[in-house]
Amino acid sequence: PELERAEKSRDATRAEMKEYSDLVKQLENFRKEKKNDLQTMADLGEETIFCSAIGKLDMIYVNVGMGFHIEMTVPEAIH
């Protein structure tokens, strides 16, 4: 049982690390391409998806945990 808990915890940590890695790659692509108009889709759950347009990517909000978000520039968020 203890090994299974440790493996589940390890898998969850790896998944979270992959999410952060994917986000950094995406932010670096935005910075390189200097896109100002971004079309995106978001999943709201229960198979409900909505489309949105983002006009500027100068500042983004980063979830730092416990319900707190910090406004940062893209280079700050990457680091």
Could you tell me which residues are beta bridge partners of residue 68?
65
Indicate the pTM of the whole model. Answer: 0.60
- Per-residue model confidence as pLDDT tens digits over 34-57: 666 777 888 888 889 988 887 777
More confident residue, 69 or 45: 69
CA separation, residue 2 to residues 11, 14, 15, 56 (Å): 14, 18, 20, 48
